[in-house]
Amino acid sequence: MSGSPSLLVTTTAGNFFAGVLLALFRNLQGPLAEHLGTTAGRFHRLRTVFAALLAPMMLVSGLLLDKWGPQPLLMGGSLLAALGVMALEPSRGERSALVGVLLTAVGTAGLTVASLVLLPRAFYPDNAPASANLGCVFLALGALLTPALMAALTRAVGFRQGLLLLALFCLTPAVCGMNVAAKDFAVPPGAGDSWAAFHHVGLWVAAGVLVFYQPLEEALGRLTRGSLKDLHVSERLAGLWVGVFWVTFLGTRLVTGQVIRPGAEAWVAFLALVLAAVMFGNLIGNDRPAGRGIGFAFTALCLAPVFPVVLGLVLRSFPASPGAACGTLLAGASLGAVVLPSLLHPASERHSARTAMRLALGFTLVLIVVSLLLALVLPGR
């Protein structure tokens, strides 16, 4: 790793807390709804507002990054997100919480785009896909540990004070960034031509990959648990297999970050998705608890590198406009996370996990086609 230690710490903290913030309204839906004194249905509308605002704000954040550099986005995003979470503490009801939701969404977008764009500088400047895989481990960890972090804070000081402490923790990237030299944040020479990236069809195809990938990743943990409960597996054993799934997922990104090299990112994503489709096909016909648990673990192994390698490919292919490239990708992921889970989640709730797995297989087959197109229109260079 050739980045400065202070930049490495800042980028790692940025990705971790971006994960926390991206998952906040999803993972804490019950406690937050109770705190706000609203129903689950009304709170779901707040979640939808947050998720819908992320897509345009990711794109805007990318354009601002290309113009001003990553420092103001990271520092300002961290501050706005902290203020947004803090504003939720005194809120009661759906309307009073809206300001906090809006501030959190705007801050989360800026923090996420800046943290992801900085990954190659913090880890391996000449190997964007490896850097993206390593950095996305912390992004996923932030999302996964949000419930445990908030539960620990609630036990220690109560939910209301816990929200305030969480808001203070969200300032960590900004505080760490104060120790980073200005040259590490500087925009590379020649950067800022955002519109040139928008003219390349490869960027939009890459965003199309994430439109279908992001809801699939978000649904997999729930799908793992639901498919095992359909087989009357105990809650404890189902939770154990979900843990195996996520350990495999994170471990695969760590390993991929050590072995992948620039030049074949799109084909890695294509091959991973083909293998994932095979795994989903086997899972649909597998009625043994151990078989399903192992099958989902192998599915995690296949799917884990997809987002980071596509991100690495785009950052490497558009060095003059990393913000626009990253913002477009994340806008696609955010759009998919708003629209497509409305297919996967009701299928598992109203029908069966097997039906949801068939839909997941359909998503994966679409992803195979789009990733093949990506390999053809945006080859490694």
pTM metric for this prediction: 0.92
Residue 187's pLDDT band (cuts 50, 70, 90) = low
d(CA 189, CA 185): 12
pLDDT (0 to 100) of residue 128: 92
Which pLDDT tens digit goes with each residue over 290-324? Answer: 888 898 899 999 999 999 999 999 999 898 899 99
Whether residue 129 is predicted with pLDDT greater than 80 in this model: the reply is yes
Per-residue tokens: 142: 């932030």
11, 119 Cβ separation under 8 angstroms: yes
Higher pLDDT, 284 or 117: 117
Q: Which two tokens stand for residue 205?
A: 């195809």
Q: How many CB atoms lie within 10 A of CB 4?
A: 16
- Which amino acid type is present at position 332? G
For residues 333 and 51, the answer to whether their CB atoms sit within 8 Å is no
Residue 159 Cα distances to 28, 84, 163, angstroms: 11, 16, 6
The residue assigned the tokens 């105990």 is 234
Most confident of 105-109, 332-336, 360-364: 105-109
Q: Which is it for the CA torsion 39, 41, 140, 286, positive or negative?
A: positive
Q: Residue 300 has what pLDDT?
A: 92
**Alpha-carbon distances of 273 from 278, 283, 288, 369, rounded to whole Å:** 9, 15, 24, 10
The number of C-alpha atoms within 13 Å of 12 and in the hemisphere containing its C-beta is 10
Q: What is the pLDDT of residue 231?
A: 76
Q: Residue 162 has what pLDDT?
A: 92
Number of Cβ within 10 Å of residue 30's Cβ equals 11
Burial 305-328 (b: 16+ CB within 10 A, else e): bbbbbbbbbbbbbbebbbbbbbbb
Q: What is the pLDDT of residue 72?
A: 92
Quote the crossing angle between the two packed helices 128-157 and 235-259, to the nearest 10°: 140
Above pLDDT 70, what percent of the chain?
Answer: 93
Domains and CATH numbers, the chain: 5-174 (1.20.1250.20), 195-377 (1.20.1250.20)
- What distance in Å separates the CA atoms of residue 273 and residue 96, rounded to the nearest whole number? 43
User: Given 3-state DSSP classes, what are the helix, strand and coil percentages for the chain, each rounded to the nearest 5?
Assistant: 85, 0, 15
pLDDT recorded at residue 195: 75
Percent of the chain scored above 90 by pLDDT?
A: 53
The CA radius of gyration of the chain, in Å to the nearest whole number, is: 20
Helices (H), 158-264: 159-169, 172-177, 182-185, 194-198, 201-229, 235-259
Tokens of 115: 């943290």
Mean pLDDT of the chain: 88
Q: How many residues in total does the chain contain?
A: 381
Question: 197 near 328, Cβ under 8 Å?
Answer: yes
Contact 344, 224 (CB under 8 A): no
Q: Which residues contact 222 (CB under 8 A, 6 or more apart)?
A: 345, 348
CA distances from 81 to 36, 73, 75 (A): 18, 11, 10
Report the largest interatomic distance among the alpha carbons of the chain, rounded to a whole angstrom.
59
Is 36's pLDDT higher than 90?
Answer: no
Reported as a single tens digit per residue, the pLDDT across 329-350 is 999 999 888 876 656 554 445 5
Residue with more model confidence, 156 or 223: 156
Q: Is the pLDDT of residue 380 over 60?
A: no
**What is the dihedral sign for C-alpha 161, 163, 168, 172?**
positive
